[in-house]
Amino acid sequence: MAKLEDITVLKSTSTRLSKDLVEQNEFGAVISDHMFIADYHNQDWHDAKVIPYSDLSLNPATLALHYGQSVFEGMKAFRMKDGKISIYRIQKHLQRFNRSLERMCMPTVPEYLFTEALKKVVDVDRNWVPEGEGHSLYIRPFVFASEARFGVKIAEEYKFIIFSGPVGPYYGTPLKLKVETHYSRAIKGGTGYAKCAGNYGASFYPTQLAKSEGYDQVLWTDGKEHKYIEESGTMNVMFVVDGLLITPATSDSILDGVTRDSILQLTEILGMKHEERKISVEELESWLKSGKLQEAFGAGTAAVVAPIDRISIEGIDYTLPVATPETFMMRVKHKLMDIRTGASEDIFGWNTIV
């Protein structure tokens, strides 16, 4: 079994770090110097270590490449006002990570291993954590089936890897969304709540079609009737209607977003009431036609809070009010950033200081 004292750190003899790399604007294009890696075999995790970031050598029969046993998380670390580094909501991310792994018949990761691996890999690359509003160190933990077989089976060997990279804002401008009523992202009883690779691969084609029509993302509806709003691309979706925050309730076809959960916990502090319930396409359209829809935004680890300024339903575009500093989405975005950077008290215990 991989123990805390067994997580060795082998530092790189050189660094690729430069000011230009840290401040580049393409999300996901730059990767830090080190990565964590551990192997699962004989029903336990072994050989946990932090090493210089490098390529992997894989057998062509690696099961993940054929049958899709691959699960990931998206997390962030922030540079605080006092110069320390904070990793945001480790326990909540681990809960979701392990739920996803269980759904894909993959071994879960113990809390001590997940937490210490994150702390060590972030600490060794702490100089990569950028400063400035909207900037952070994105962290990618993932597990995939590494056993080499070509028969259809649940793998017995896996790799757990964590790498990171400096990022800026995921979306630079307000979003234009198309309500998708033909293609489906997830169905009841499926893997929609899991962060497994196949969910994202399956969403590429309808998203590509929407982009060819001038939209940034699709607004997914339920996979059975296409009557109810679920989520959008890489984000949960939230609406402010007549001063009330409304968001679809999570289910086995909607991802339980960590940023979504954080925002809902902050509503009372910011004086906003909220509801988690089904939202029909018909209801959304009525809000847009009547002008009751005051705000619409996406919420996710990568996007944080992403304003939506246009929604298309059955070929008709509806324009939303422009976000201002007084709107709820901007107030909650700044409150989140203040907690993450130490400008506001972390009353929820969300930050893990490295």
Confidence of residue 338 (pLDDT cuts 50, 70, 90): very high
Task: State percent of the chain over pLDDT 90.
Answer: 91
- Lowest average pLDDT, out of 10-19, 91-100, 160-169, 286-295, goes to 10-19
Give the CATH superfamily of 175-341: D-amino Acid Aminotransferase, subunit A, domain 2 (3.20.10.10)
Confidence of residue 289 (pLDDT cuts 50, 70, 90): very high
The Cα 76–Cα 164 span in angstroms is: 9
Domain residue spans of the chain: 4-168, 175-341
Per-residue pLDDT, 162:
98
Per-residue pLDDT, 134:
87
Q: What are phi and psi of 327, to 5 degrees?
A: -70, 155
Instruction: List pLDDT tens digits, range 189-242.
Output: 999 999 999 999 999 999 999 999 999 999 999 999 999 999 998 899 999 999
Instruction: List pLDDT tens digits, range 14-49.
Output: 998 887 777 776 888 999 999 999 999 999 999 999
The residue written with tokens 């996803």 in the block is 100
The residue written with tokens 């969304």 in the block is 177
The Cα 154–Cα 145 span in angstroms is: 8
Q: Residues with Cβ < 8 Å from 15, sequence gap 6 or more?
A: 33, 127
The Cα 347–Cα 350 span in angstroms is: 8
Cα-Cα-Cα-Cα dihedral sign, residues 191, 193, 199, 204: positive
Instruction: List pLDDT tens digits, range 242-286.
Output: 999 999 999 999 999 999 999 999 999 999 999 999 999 999 999
Q: For residue 333, give the 3-state DSSP assignment.
A: helix
Instruction: List pLDDT tens digits, range 146-186.
Output: 999 999 999 999 999 999 999 998 888 999 999 999 999 99
Q: Is it the case that residue 326 has pLDDT exceeding 60?
A: yes
Q: Same CATH topology for 4-168 and 175-341?
A: no
For 34, the enclosing helix (H) or strand (E) is strand 34-41
Q: Is it the case that residue 102 has pLDDT exceeding 70?
A: yes
Q: Which CATH class is domain 4-168?
A: alpha beta
Residue (of 121, 116, 94, 264) closest to 195 by Cα position: 94
The Cα 277–Cα 178 span in angstroms is: 21
The whole-chain average pLDDT of the chain stands at 95
The Cα 211–Cα 68 span in angstroms is: 26
Q: What is the pTM of this model?
A: 0.95
Task: Give first-to-last CA distance, the chain, whole Å.
Answer: 24
For 48, the enclosing helix (H) or strand (E) is strand 44-52
Q: Is it the case that residue 1 has pLDDT exceeding 70?
A: no
Amino acid at 74: G
